[in-house]
Structure 1
Amino acid sequence: MSAGRGSYLSVTWTDEVTGREGYLVVDRLIRGLASGGLRMRDGCTVEEVRGLAEAMTRKEALNYTPGARYIPLGGAKGGIDCDPRSDEAQGMLTRYLVAMGPYLERVWATGEDLGLTQTMIDRAVADAGLESSIQALDPYLDDPDRAKARLAAGFAVTVDGVGLDTLVGGYGVAAAALVALDQLDRPRAATRAFIQGFGSMGGATARYLVKAGVAVVGVSDADGVIANPDGLDVEHLLRHRDHLGAIDRSALGAADTQLPRDAWLDVDAELLVPAAVSYAIDAVDADRVRAGLVVEAANLPVTPPAEAALTARGVTIVPDVVANSATNSWWWWTLFGDIGPTADEAFARIDTAMGDLVGRLFDRSAKDGTTLRAAAHAIAEENHADLVERWGRRRPADLG
């Protein structure tokens, strides 16, 4: 998985109706399979999708547990250049899935990502005449119907009225942040957090940080920043956001203040969680980061030049391939039967996985004298090599 090694497959598709493009990048294969979500956003590029596919390869490999039923896959990613709120979105999504049908049938298992919900994907899958967005995995399941019923049961679970599937990602980010705070000997009760983005990932991260005793002093959405130095009432804000994470400003508390959207790095906090878009912190923005710990909930939110500048200042960054991996892992743990479709089993498994993985990152980083990201990449390289040696890259011949 070294830089510049090239992807296994890259497909660019042009929609005959809108003229816009969609992309699929399969970075690597294990047993002929790759996993990675499908995103939709205005301005999505093949370069963005390629970077995300490479990250998925690492994310899968990092969650390798020998002896588990879930054997990690290769990495892939899909992307569609379209505003998901536009009238064109659902139709373009369906046409994209029709075009990518041969890959979905045999190679690529996908699900919701930025701009898309699983409900939107499932509707488009049905309209495209496909069985499911994960049907490529069917030959590897002991009982596909039972496995998919188990996953469907997991999606049906709610916690305080919120779907488990929208909570596990943010729960994992919060768990990673808490382990990192412990590793850095920073008391939770003395830690203030800022969350950029208040959708499913950012909202759940905020919820579970507060439950662990961390004060969330600021959040941002598409309309700007909401801050309170004494801590926001996160549960109240969650009850007054829409499905895209926008907060109803009429519901703010008397002590809550509003700031412009570009002021999200100006709020004093020891923990910063970028949970919105990629490349949110560049080399210029790095000088404005006040936190000593950054935990990447979004994919690729810190650019390499920014990371170099932050590292030079002593800022610790828990990389996205670790921090936001719980959603992907929860899908496969549940599908393959490593856990049952309950919130208790999901959260317990995430706590265990994040405790182990983030702990190993700090140990490896200290041993090698590198950043946590470099440590994550090294562990992923080793795990990926082991997966290839044990399971191979190609689909077994007896499966056709």
Structure 2
Amino acid sequence: MTHLSYVNENTDAWQTYLAQIDRVAPHLGELAYYLDTLKRPKRTLIVDVPLVMDDGSIQHFEGYRVQHNLSRGPGKGGIRYHPSVDLNEVMALSAWMTIKTAVLNLPFGGAKGGVRVDPSKLSTRELERLTRRFTTEISPIIGPQKDIPAPDVGTNPNIMGWMMDTYSTTQGHTVTGVVTGKPVHLGGSLGRVRATGRGVFVTGLEAAKKINLTIENSKVVVQGFGNVGSEAAYLFNQANAQVVAVQDHTGTIFNPNGIDIKALQKYVEEHRGLAGFSGAEPIDNEALWDVEMDIFVPAALEGQITVERAKRLTAKLVLEGANGPTYPAADDILIERGVTIVPDVICNAGGVTVSYFEWVQDMASYFWTEDEINQRLDKLMIQAIADVWAMADQKSCSLRTAAYILACERILIARKERGIFPG
């Protein structure tokens, strides 16, 4: 079957997602009849974003919003500002959001957006103008009951605040629920910034129990030290695990006796990268994959665990903090080697779960404490990994395949029961 004429066969993210979906088909019974609905996005919007720069020149940036599947509710997914953003990446990320929200049993579908831009090269005023114009261009298809954006790579709560304000201006009244991940005083939720990293840690604890891996004194390696990687590293550190290596866009550091994560967080905040941190030794980036470890947390961009790297990785447990960090062929190698992989669609779902909480709070105009949010988050994450583990045992398959079976069943039952209009 040919999938969407604009798919470039040389790009990996969408092809990785399609390969993951194909692996689920034999487990779906009569629901496999509807599986093609998950192999193509429901709606794709490509927009031109013209921007008047501070020097008076005009530059054009390409933006996207993809709604992959809306069978279970409005779209949900982040906005990414990065030079590598393209349609295939956004399609894949939107599809993974469809799976993720279904695995967690949240009343959402999957969506994603982005602008191909390097935000570090824009001034604050340019970034605001870019955001407001992009929001205007995608405003016909977003809304609290249609599609709810959130922060992702290269975006933050301030950008969500600008998006909310721009959309509200077009509606003539304040619409806090149009985005999540906003500043708290604009209707954002407590606990949102740290939620994804917390989810990685919580699912990691549950998986470690299942495989009889003791967290205390275990060796942890983290790739990526943004909101997700730094929070996960901090929580593992607090649980008396040793974070022995960390990698970010500026380099890789190693300390066999463990890195002081709180000190590293402070250093990175001041220097915008870990290069030069005195509490560990710099090593070659590729040497990260040879470090002796028990737990590996890939929390950077997709496509990091290749076949060759999978052969070298020494971890017993991989916690996918990033979206799509493992190629399907690498997945097979890790499983053959006895490595347990907690897939991205569960592992990093803490962010979308607290985004759901934020949306609910905005709809009700009633806000919860951070303790309440963390308790609700932990409960949902623990239940989700228990459901997936039970499915994996029942079907004798990997956690990833089990997660996809569970998600696809929920999505395709909704598709079947809603029917296709017109009949």
Match of 1:194 in 2: 221
Give the drift of 1:263.
Answer: 2.7
Match of 2:17 in 1: none
Worse overlay, 170-179 or 31-40: 31-40
State how 1:137-176 maps to structure 2 within 5 Å.
Answer: 152=186, 155=189, 157=190, 164-176=191-203
For residue 115 of structure 1, the aligned residue among 139, 150, 154 is 154
Which letter does structure 1 place at the counterpart of 2:146?
V
Give the drift of 1:278.
Answer: 1.1
Which letter does structure 2 place at the counterpart of 1:214?
A
For 1:94 and 1:220, locate their aligned partners in 2 and report how far apart those are by CA, in whole Å.
33
Note the alpha carbon deviations across 1:189-217, whole angstroms, 9 max, x for none: 24211010111110100111112222111
Match of 2:101 in 1: 60
Conserved in 1, the CA contact under 8 Å of 2:72 and 2:414? no
Query: Is the counterpart of residue 77 in structure 1 residue 112 in structure 2?
Result: yes
Conserved in 1, the CA contact under 8 Å of 2:135 and 2:166? no
For 2:176 and 2:337, locate their aligned partners in 1 and report how far apart those are by CA, in whole Å.
43
Match of 2:319 in 1: 295
For 1:31 and 1:359, locate their aligned partners in 2 and report how far apart those are by CA, in whole Å.
22
Match of 1:97 in 2: 135
For 2:292 and 2:179, locate their aligned partners in 1 and report how far apart those are by CA, in whole Å.
46
Match of 1:246 in 2: 273
Give the drift of 1:168.
Answer: 1.2
For residue 366 of structure 1, the aligned residue among 379, 385, 393 is 393
State how 1:288-327 maps to structure 2 within 5 Å.
Answer: 288-327=312-351
Give the drift of 1:136.
Answer: 8.4
Conserved in 1, the CA contact under 8 Å of 2:111 and 2:147? yes
For 1:166 and 1:92, locate their aligned partners in 2 and report how far apart those are by CA, in whole Å.
23
For 1:94 and 1:393, locate their aligned partners in 2 and report how far apart those are by CA, in whole Å.
37
For 1:22 and 1:226, locate their aligned partners in 2 and report how far apart those are by CA, in whole Å.
35
For 1:203 and 1:102, locate their aligned partners in 2 and report how far apart those are by CA, in whole Å.
36
For 1:334 and 1:100, locate their aligned partners in 2 and report how far apart those are by CA, in whole Å.
22
Same amino acid, percent of matched pairs = 27
For 1:244 and 1:91, locate their aligned partners in 2 and report how far apart those are by CA, in whole Å.
27
For 1:151 and 1:367, locate their aligned partners in 2 and report how far apart those are by CA, in whole Å.
46
State how 1:334-345 maps to structure 2 within 5 Å.
Answer: 334-337=358-361, 340-345=367-372
For 1:24 and 1:352, locate their aligned partners in 2 and report how far apart those are by CA, in whole Å.
31
Note the alpha carbon deviations across 1:26-82, whole angstroms, 9 max, x for none: 011146621111111101111111111111111111122xxxxxx511110001111
Query: Is the counterpart of residue 29 in structure 1 residue 70 in structure 2?
Result: yes
Worse overlay, 192-201 or 302-311: 302-311
Moved over 6 A (4+): 148-151
State how 1:149-298 maps to structure 2 within 5 Å.
Answer: 152=186, 155=189, 157=190, 164-242=191-269, 246-247=273-274, 249=276, 251-253=277-279, 256-298=280-322
Match of 2:379 in 1: 352
Which letter does structure 2 place at the counterpart of 1:283?
V
Give the drift of 1:244.
Answer: 9.1
Which letter does structure 1 place at the counterpart of 2:342?
V
TM-score (norm 2): 0.79
Match of 2:7 in 1: none
Give the drift of 1:388.
Answer: 5.1
Give the drift of 1:222.
Answer: 1.3
TM-score (norm 1): 0.84
Conserved in 2, the CA contact under 8 Å of 1:33 and 1:107? yes
Conserved in 2, the CA contact under 8 Å of 1:296 and 1:323? yes
Worse overlay, 341-350 or 380-389: 380-389
Note the alpha carbon deviations across 1:329-384, whole angstroms, 9 max, x for none: 11212432599532211222222222221122222112211111100001112222
For 1:361 and 1:273, locate their aligned partners in 2 and report how far apart those are by CA, in whole Å.
19
Match of 2:87 in 1: 46
Conserved in 2, the CA contact under 8 Å of 1:25 and 1:77? yes
Conserved in 2, the CA contact under 8 Å of 1:153 and 1:341? no
Match of 1:381 in 2: 408
Conserved in 2, the CA contact under 8 Å of 1:41 and 1:114? yes
Conserved in 1, the CA contact under 8 Å of 2:342 and 2:400? yes
For 1:132 and 1:288, locate their aligned partners in 2 and report how far apart those are by CA, in whole Å.
49
Q: Structure 2: which 5+ residue stretches go unaligned?
A: 1-20, 22-34, 51-57
Q: Structure 1: which 5+ residue stretches go unaligned?
A: 65-70, 138-147, 158-163, 395-400
Conserved in 1, the CA contact under 8 Å of 2:160 and 2:179? no
1:181 partner SS = helix
2:41 partner SS = coil
Match of 1:330 in 2: 354
For 2:186 and 2:100, locate their aligned partners in 1 and report how far apart those are by CA, in whole Å.
23
Worse overlay, 39-48 or 12-21: 12-21
For 1:41 and 1:150, locate their aligned partners in 2 and report how far apart those are by CA, in whole Å.
25
Equivalent residues, number: 368
